[in-house]
């Protein structure tokens, strides 16, 4: 039986930019960075957002645009706070 979600991995072109997005918007805590080494297929960083682990790996974007996405649930009362964080990063 599945106990829950272990982690989500995103392939990103710029690890540092995505790290800034995760920490700046979601208050993510970086828990691991491979640095210049590659233990799987690419450089990577792991973050914890609440109880969710998010991994980002350096790589190319998908060759075609898709509707793949993750939707995070927030309280209605926090909407403007998160909207301001997103705008502050120029997204």
Q: Provide the residue range defining the domain that includes 23.
A: 7-83
What's the CATH code of the domain at 23? 3.10.180.10
Q: pLDDT-based confidence at 41, cuts 50/70/90?
A: confident
Residue 54 and residue 28 in contact, taking contact as beta carbons nearer than 8 Å: yes
Residue 68: its pLDDT value, please? 87
In a domain, 72, yes or no: yes
d(CA 83, CA 81): 5
- In which element (H, E) is residue 25 found? helix 15-26
Three-state secondary-structure class, residue 76: helix
Does this model's pTM top 0.75? My answer is yes
Q: Tell me, yes or no, if 60 is annotated catalytic.
A: no
Q: Which of these is catalytic: 16, 30, 36, 44? A: 44
Q: Residue 7, by phi and psi: left (phi above 0), alpha (psi -120 to 50) or beta? A: beta
Residue 56 and residue 70 in contact, taking contact as beta carbons nearer than 8 Å: no
The domain total for the chain is 1
């Amino acid at each position: 039986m599945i106990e829950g979600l272990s982690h989500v991995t995103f392939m990103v072109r710029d690890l540092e930019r995505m790290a800034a997005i995760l920490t700046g918007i979601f208050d993510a805590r970086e828990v691991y960075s491979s640095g210049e080494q590659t233990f799987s297929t690419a450089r990577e960083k792991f973050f914890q957002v609440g109880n969710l682990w998010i991994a980002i790996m350096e790589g190319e974007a998908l060759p075609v645009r898709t509707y793949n996405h993750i939707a995070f649930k927030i309280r209605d009362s926090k909407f403007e706070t998160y909207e301001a964080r997103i705008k502050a990063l120029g997204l």
